Structure 1
Amino acid sequence: MNAVLHAVRVKGIASEAAIVDATGLSLGEVERELATLEGDELVLRRPSRKRPGWVLTEEGRIHHGAQLAAAHDDAELAAIAEHYEGFLAVNAQVKTVSAKWQHATDDAARFELIDRIETLHGRAAPVLERAGAAAERYGRYGARLGAALEKLEDDQRFFVSPLVDSYHTVWFECHEDFLLTLGRTRAGEGSE
């Protein structure tokens, strides 16, 4: 499966830097792959001053869906589904803490929420590490979530801001990846 195409699909709109964060590829590798994908009419650059980035074309969505469907055998999908259950075991709590963060008005409340997200991360990280054995990209989510927590110490945007690789942003992308891979929807499982 093409990692750049997958990152654009999961993110919806993705800058080159965001694709680098998501894939671990170098900026040069990402730029070359985007140029190839653009030439194949699978992605296009979204011209927007507010939120520019790369998006999939309709053909890109079809191509990605076919790649993803062929990317995992039944045993891998069963393992991913099992690890997804572990992810879901903390998902609602992560969403609750993230929502509370957006309404916290004082430092004491925010420090408490940071402690809570660190505790939840302690439960989620082993799940993603094990999921990474079935599909390497899930291990990257765990690493990205850990990096967001480290940056949160100095920059509070790394809790929920969509403008950086924040904990909430990476969590949302990981959830989206599980759903796409397993052929599920947020509405179907009640996690909108």
Structure 2
Amino acid sequence: MLDPYQLTVHTLTLRQLASAEQLAEVNGQSLPEVEENLEKAAAEGAVRAAKGNHMITPAGRQLLADVYPQAFADLRSSSAVSEAMEAFESGVNKQVLTLTTDWQTKEVGRDRVPNDHDDADYDAAVVAKLGRVVDKTAKVLRPIADADPLVDRFLERIDTALTRAEGGETDYVSGVRVDSVHTVWFQMHEHLLRLTGRERPE
């Protein structure tokens, strides 16, 4: 697996522009550890810092490209992990994408129009379906989560967002300014692709 320094740099591929605090929230490292790793990464040219935020550089991406094959060799050679990833891509990931579209739009007559969220029953039905898919996802990804605990952290963050959405905070379904279900799901998907050496489906 990745060492702590590599993990900090890797996290900037999941959240493109982020503060140390935001990176620690994603990867579970302590804030002092993240800050130390970012300082080292900036000195080595792997990360660029500006006004309290950080982004990965081409050198940082090359660093990760060099370490991924060895760091994730056992995971990538596992048939259980491969089967779990196939089930994720062909099943729950497509379902979440469809439900996100259903949340953002709805059918009126024969047209699909932006959802103005004035139909509480419609929104509640979408959130309920999303909850069932999230529950299923935890089972689908169990072989990968057993090999990489960060996957469980993503699932916990998705559960937190879902709970807030169920409580009426609608931004937590697909809002881009908060750690919504959709935002964290996108981060988790990118992490899974990097673990397994796959490309994001078109």
Write the mapping of 1:133-148 to structure 2, written as runs, cut at 5 A: 133-148=146-161
Q: Which has the higher helix share?
A: 1
Q: Which residue of 2 aligns with 1:182?
A: 196
Residues 13, 55 of structure 1: 8 Å contact kept: yes
Q: Which residue of 2 aligns with 1:168?
A: 182
Q: Which structure has the greater CA radius of gyration? A: 2
- Structure 2 unaligned residues grouped into runs of 5+: 106-114
Q: Which amino acid aligns with 1:125?
A: A
Residues 142 and 128 of structure 1, relative CA distance in 2, 3 Å threshold: farther
Residues 128, 141 of structure 1: 8 Å contact kept: no
Task: Using the aligned pairs only, state the percent identity.
Answer: 28
| 2:152 aligned with 1:128 | no
C-alpha separation in 2, matches of 1:85 and 1:119:
19
Q: Which amino acid aligns with 2:15?
A: K
Q: Which residue of 2 aligns with 1:60?
A: 60
Q: Which residue of 2 aligns with 1:93?
A: 95
Q: Which residue of 2 aligns with 1:39?
A: 43
Q: Which amino acid aligns with 1:4?
A: T
Q: Which amino acid aligns with 2:144?
A: A
Q: Which amino acid aligns with 1:8?
A: L
| 2:13 aligned with 1:9 | yes
Q: Which residue of 1 aligns with 2:170?
A: 156
Q: Which residue of 2 aligns with 1:112?
A: 125
C-alpha separation in 2, matches of 1:60 and 1:26:
21
Residues 16, 31 of structure 1: 8 Å contact kept: yes
C-alpha separation in 1, matches of 2:69 and 2:46:
17
- Structure 1 unaligned residues grouped into runs of 5+: none
TM-score by length of 2: 0.82
Residues 128, 142 of structure 1: 8 Å contact kept: no
TM-score by length of 1: 0.86
